[in-house]
A and B are shown apart, each in its own frame.
Chain A
Amino acid sequence: MARQPDGPPPPPTVQKLRLRYTKRGPLRFASHRDLARALERALRRAQVPMAFSAGFSPHPKISYMGAAPTGAASEAEYFEIGLSARRDPEQVRVALDASLPPGIDVLECVEARDGSGSLADRLDATRWRIDLPGVDADELSAAVQELLAREEVLVAKRTKNGTRDVDARAAVVRAAVAVEAGCAILHVVVRQLTPTVRPDDVMAALAAVADLRPPLPIRAVREAQGRLDDSGEVADPLGPDRAVRSCCQEERAQV
């Protein structure tokens, strides 16, 4: 039997909070591991009463999901925390936001309610905005039309088990081109499959079908993350928690 430390087990989780945060400016270069470290330390500085796992190496109860790739900015990253004492979600949001560097901004915090299902299940698509400086918008439009017209576009993707081919076309739900301040912009909704199709993979697909090769580094922003609805839009993943909460206002936490 595994050895257990002496003493009582740690206090249980009494409240689960779900949070949305951003990755803006220079902090788009943070990896998901960098963000995890920053969030855990900020939770301590903000004195959020985290619940811990049992054992010799107790870890705070935090679940991260669907991290945007290093170098991509995001307006919609999500994580869930377990607390050992109840707190007002908005106060946690404000305190945590104040403890994090500018660029990692906590936008929303809601209480997860029993029966509302897992947050990870509600994150199956991303709406990306990809700025393509130096790319001609018409050329981009033509490339996007070509991509959408294909049944399948395989791109080589590096995974931890070596390179494998992934169908980037299958992941693309919708794609549209716009121009802002003279810069071509690709708006694309991508289904989160395994392995994940990222902005770089979409670009590789455009290179494969239409030889589109941006002269400058692209800039991608995850604008929204959530469940793909019937209209091809990305639904707010915290919606179900909010819906439950608003009809149970009277039972809200004491703080």
Chain B
Amino acid sequence: MAPEGGGYPGRVMTVDSLYPQLEPLLAQVQKPIQYVGGELNAQVKPWDDVAVHWALMYPDAYEVGLPNQGLMILYEVLNERPDALAERTYAVWPDLAGLMREHGVGQFTVDAHRPVRAFELLGVSFATELGYTNLLEALDLAGVPLHAVDRDETHPVVVAGGHAAFNPEPVADFVDCAVLGDGEQVVGDITDVVAAWKAEGRPGGRVELLARLARVDGVYVPRFYAVSYAADGTIAEVLRTRDDVPARVGKRTVMDLDEWPYPKQPLVPLAESVHERMSVEIFRGCTRGCRFCQAGMITRPVRERTITGIGSMVDAGLKATGYEEVGLLSLSSADHSEIGQLAKELADRYEGTNTGLSLPSTRVDAFNVTLANELSRNGRRSGLTFAPEGGSERIRRVINKTVSKEDLVRTVTTAYANGWRQVKLYFMCGLPTETDEDVLEIAELAVEVIRAGREASGTKDIRCTVSIGGFVPKPHTPFQWAAQASAETIDHRLRILRQAINADRRIGRSIGLRYHDGKPGVIEGLLSRGDRRVGRVIERVWRDGGHFDGWSEHFSFERWTAAATEELGRFGLDLDWYTTRERTEHEVLPWDHLDSGLDKEWLWEDWQDAISEDEVGDCRWTGCYDCGVCPTMGTEIQIGPTGRSLLPLTVVR
């Protein structure tokens, strides 16, 4: 490992490109194109023209990070400001990282290849906790001290965002701030604070800057909050250490999505990425109330983009990118109040242009063949994806994603009968109260789907892929108190499921089973519900060579368990304490001082309802059930229908 803090001298006015030093190294690494930038719609602004410089990082490989919508949005929003610039940086693969250390080249942005060390702000978007070790690697490569307390005013302020930032406690030692909620507006507020502080001659140094940032709505500065622990290892209390910062930090919510039509000019890489399409977010938030779903809980309320707003984003985005597929993104896209009309009118507009539309996945109860036909009318008819999540009706009531087995089989069969040959079904394993029988019902369902599908389509040429993810309890959800299933439990259930699917080869050969073993989920669980003590585990794992933990070829369970034993043992705790232990009602949770708007009492009641298999409705249709978000945050549901239509456009045929 390179020594910490080595690298670049203090900030200078003009910051030079590292590309001349980097280029000879690129000839020696895999997929060098990911490091050269120059993507379509990328932006490079002169350094000296602006007051505030943001490096935006997605802490995973370029191919995963580039298509990330959140980062793309902030990149554009910031670059539109005359007083700011934003450049992007991604996790560097070990082959290049080794050469960079050998040749003294620091972590760089791909846009102008400027050293990350030179920026005022380093924004890091955590979609998953498995990116934490990559943050440490990037900080070290950048020559930025790992621990926030060791940084001075020449170092970037490290700002965490994304869903994982709703419990940033495991990385509290390494980040300066965490931002809760939607980023579009808060990045502007942060930019204003930094610009003013710089203009005033940096009064009070780094601590004063952080104190000012802590007063920005939605910004949490961990160092101003002290955590104390009880004898049993649980948190006694979390207290602020200055009275000019809020006792609880609330999330930010963008209310009118039509006012924020970003990305306007989506980035198009030369390199292959995980999503070869442009995406338009058609609404944000979800109130379906799936109890496992952190995204649905922390992004409330539902705010729809209007049909006309979506139409103009699709048009502008296709012109700017040349993509041949448009993803209509949201947490449950078929729930948009005008989805049917939207799909039809977009298909009309792009008739004859080989432009396909897609939804990430479809709720079984929201699917209809007309919609599916419109989506695939002009493009390639790929597979359909449904996410029942739970194998049995009972477990689906527990997770509040209720759909009967008959409806599920009927829906999938309808798809086969209408010409789809490939259907994917997503399930979770290790859900609260789950038994072996619940999981075995996945096999029954898949077999039934194939049997009925062959009959309905009149062909044996149909396939069903069953994809299983291990359930990880997440903060700010009703399952935040739940005991996580152990890796052994998950692995056992996956084993018996595989046997059950293969019991009848005549059916089983039409069913694909995709899953990962339970071990990475245990570490994700540790990081999801961890507190500040878990930071020591992350740091040790990184020092022992751990990074790219989302990649099975780099993830080492043994490295994590060894580090956890060592670092948590000193507190009398262990991995199980953080993962498989069920929490009690009044335990202080590490994220209790961070406010997603959800009422903790409501979450507890919903957890109790889950255990007794009681369902809850969707407040868009069945009335408010007092989750707490709207009154706490001063927000309300924003949905259509608007009654508007898409105007025809002239498009090339």
Do A and B make up one complex?
yes
* Per-position binary interface string of chain B over residues 24-40, scored 1 when its CB falls under 8 Å from any chain A CB and 0 otherwise: 10111001110111111
By a CB distance below 8 angstroms, the chain B residues around A27 are: 33, 36, 38, 270
Q: Does A240 make an interface contact (CB < 8 A)? A: no
Q: Could you tell me the distance between the alpha carbons of A57 and B381 in the complex, rounded to whole angstroms?
A: 7
Q: Does B354 make an interface contact (CB < 8 A)? A: yes
Q: Does B321 make an interface contact (CB < 8 A)? A: yes
A11-66 with Cβ < 8 A to chain B: 26-27, 29-31, 33-35, 37-38, 40-45, 47, 49, 52, 56-58
A211-230 with Cβ < 8 A to chain B: 216-217
Q: Could you tell me the distance between the alpha carbons of A209 and B107 in the complex, rounded to whole angstroms?
A: 40
Query: Do B24 and A216 touch (CB < 8 A)?
Result: yes
A26's partner among B19, B31, B268, B653 (CB-CB below 8 A) is: B19
Query: Do A34 and B33 touch (CB < 8 A)?
Result: yes
Chain B interface, >50% SS class: loop
Q: Could you tell me the distance between the alpha carbons of A217 and B32 in the complex, rounded to whole angstroms?
A: 14
Q: Could you tell me the distance between the alpha carbons of A101 and B272 in the complex, rounded to whole angstroms?
A: 16
* Per-position binary interface string of chain A over residues 55-82, scored 1 when its CB falls under 8 Å from any chain B CB and 0 otherwise: 0111000000000001100000000000
Query: Do A41 and B268 touch (CB < 8 A)?
Result: yes
Query: Do A45 and B271 touch (CB < 8 A)?
Result: no
- From known contacts A33-B272, A217-B27, infer whether A45 and B32 are also in contact, taking CB-CB under 8 Å: no
Q: Does B652 make an interface contact (CB < 8 A)? A: yes
Q: Does B224 make an interface contact (CB < 8 A)? A: no
Q: Could you tell me the distance between the alpha carbons of A42 and B31 in the complex, rounded to whole angstroms?
A: 22
A-B contact count (CB 8 A): 70
Closest to B19 in A: A26
Q: Does A117 make an interface contact (CB < 8 A)? A: no
Q: Does B324 make an interface contact (CB < 8 A)? A: yes
B24's partner among A58, A70, A103, A217 (CB-CB below 8 A) is: A217
A101's partner among B40, B323, B652 (CB-CB below 8 A) is: B40
Q: Could you tell me the distance between the alpha carbons of A49 and B651 in the complex, rounded to whole angstroms?
A: 11
Closest to A43 in B: B322
Q: Does B11 make an interface contact (CB < 8 A)? A: no
Query: Do A71 and B380 touch (CB < 8 A)?
Result: no
Query: Do A101 and B271 touch (CB < 8 A)?
Result: no
Q: Does A99 make an interface contact (CB < 8 A)? A: yes
By a CB distance below 8 angstroms, the chain B residues around A217 are: 24, 27-28
Q: Does B319 make an interface contact (CB < 8 A)? A: yes
By a CB distance below 8 angstroms, the chain A residues around B319 are: 45
Query: Do A58 and B380 touch (CB < 8 A)?
Result: yes
Q: Chain B nearest CB: distance from A6 CB in Å?
A: 9
Query: Do B270 and A35 touch (CB < 8 A)?
Result: yes
- From known contacts A43-B322, A49-B652, infer whether A30 and B27 are also in contact, taking CB-CB under 8 Å: no
**Interface residues on chain A, number (Cβ under 8 Å):** 31
Q: Could you tell me the distance between the alpha carbons of A187 and B36 in the complex, rounded to whole angstroms?
A: 27
- From known contacts A45-B319, A57-B380, infer whether A29 and B36 are also in contact, taking CB-CB under 8 Å: yes
Query: Do A99 and B27 touch (CB < 8 A)?
Result: no
- From known contacts A70-B32, A217-B24, infer whether A49 and B653 are also in contact, taking CB-CB under 8 Å: yes
Q: Could you tell me the distance between the alpha carbons of A5 and B321 in the complex, rounded to whole angstroms?
A: 27
Query: Do A47 and B652 touch (CB < 8 A)?
Result: yes
Query: Do B26 and A29 touch (CB < 8 A)?
Result: yes
Query: Do A37 and B272 touch (CB < 8 A)?
Result: yes
Q: Could you tell me the distance between the alpha carbons of A103 and B37 in the complex, rounded to whole angstroms?
A: 12
Q: Does A239 make an interface contact (CB < 8 A)? A: no
Q: Could you tell me the distance between the alpha carbons of A69 and B554 in the complex, rounded to whole angstroms?
A: 28
Q: Could you tell me the distance between the alpha carbons of A26 and B32 in the complex, rounded to whole angstroms?
A: 9
Q: Does A102 make an interface contact (CB < 8 A)? A: yes
By a CB distance below 8 angstroms, the chain B residues around A34 are: 33, 270-272
By a CB distance below 8 angstroms, the chain B residues around A41 are: 40, 268, 321-323
Q: Chain A nearest CB: distance from B283 CB in Å?
A: 27
Q: Could you tell me the distance between the alpha carbons of A31 and B29 in the complex, rounded to whole angstroms?
A: 13
Task: Spell out B's residues near A (CB within 8 Å).
Answer: 19, 23-24, 26-28, 31-33, 35-40, 268, 270-272, 276, 319-324, 354, 380-381, 652-653
Q: Top 10 nearest A-B pairs by Cβ distance? A: A41-B322, A44-B322, A29-B32, A26-B36, A45-B322, A217-B27, A47-B652, A34-B270, A57-B380, A29-B33
